[in-house]
Amino acid sequence: MKVTLHPPRFALIALILLFITFTTAAQEIASFSSVQNNGCSGTINSNVNITTTGICRGTGITSVGGPYYTSNGWAWDLDATNYLEWSITPNAGYQINLTSITLNYFKGNNGPGRAELQIDYGLGFTTINDDPVNTNTDDVNTVDISTLTEINTPITFRLFAYRAAQSTGEFTIKEIPSEANKGVIINGNVELIPCPTITTWDGTSWDNGTPTLA
């Protein structure tokens, strides 16, 4: 039997396929402010199915005035209290697939010369990037985190800065070029947690695969 798709019906199917592609493709799921704040920075944008906590300072560093999110109090060695922290948490019933994170930062003349980015999603903090920091100029870094998928727990990032010549040296989260007031952008997608596969025993066999019993 020959089936003919009429233009309106074909257009509807194409629109549905486009919507599915768009909603599952990697996109910005959260971004955080580069604007100076004595406390935590604000969240610029976030997916409706997650909650966020803006960039906050560890107890070892303090706020510095200026247009951007700047801090001092850094040390030569990596210090457990000298970090910037932000987090994203999926709402109940949802999971996060990460793809990348982009940050822009720089240091003052005596500021920390290296920055180490760590992540924790329930298994403890692990390092995902460690590199030099530019002096008084943009240092945009995009880190591939596409192996981190199907996460349904809070995800916390910590950015440690170290190798500071003096404790008065400054480290700044700055606006990413062409991204108004955004100093950190997390890309990925947020999706419903798939329903578990149901299999039934009919007395002699399972109808949809053999289950794994906990």
55 found inside a domain: yes
pLDDT band at 89 (very low <50, low <70, confident <90, very high): very high
198 found inside a domain: no
pLDDT tens for residues 118-158?
999 999 999 999 999 999 999 999 999 999 999 999 999 99
The torsion of the CA quartet 96, 98, 104, 109, rounded to 10 degrees, works out to 100
Report CA Rg, the chain.
22
- Mean residue pLDDT of the chain comes to 89
pLDDT of residue 26: 77
188 found inside a domain: yes
201 found inside a domain: no
Share of the chain above pLDDT 70, in %: 82
> Domain range spanning residue 52?
26-192
pLDDT band at 12 (very low <50, low <70, confident <90, very high): very low
Is the pLDDT assigned to residue 7 strictly greater than 80?
no
Residues 6 or more apart in contact with residue 163 via CB below 8 angstroms: 76, 112, 113, 114
pLDDT tens for residues 38-47?
999 999 999 9
CATH of the domain at 77: 2.60.120.260
133 found inside a domain: yes
Give CA–CA dist 100/185, Å, rounded.
Answer: 8
Number of structural domains, the chain?
1
Is the pLDDT assigned to residue 184 strictly greater than 80?
yes
pLDDT band at 17 (very low <50, low <70, confident <90, very high): very low
pLDDT band at 196 (very low <50, low <70, confident <90, very high): low
3-state secondary structure of 8: helix
Q: Which of 120, 43, 126, 52 has the alpha carbon at shortest distance from 89?
A: 52
204 found inside a domain: no
pLDDT of residue 24: 52
208 found inside a domain: no
Give CA–CA dist 214/212, Å, rounded.
Answer: 6
* Residue indicated by tokens 């100029």: 137
Residues 6 or more apart in contact with residue 117 via CB below 8 angstroms: 101, 103, 127, 128, 129, 130, 143, 157, 158, 159, 160
6 found inside a domain: no
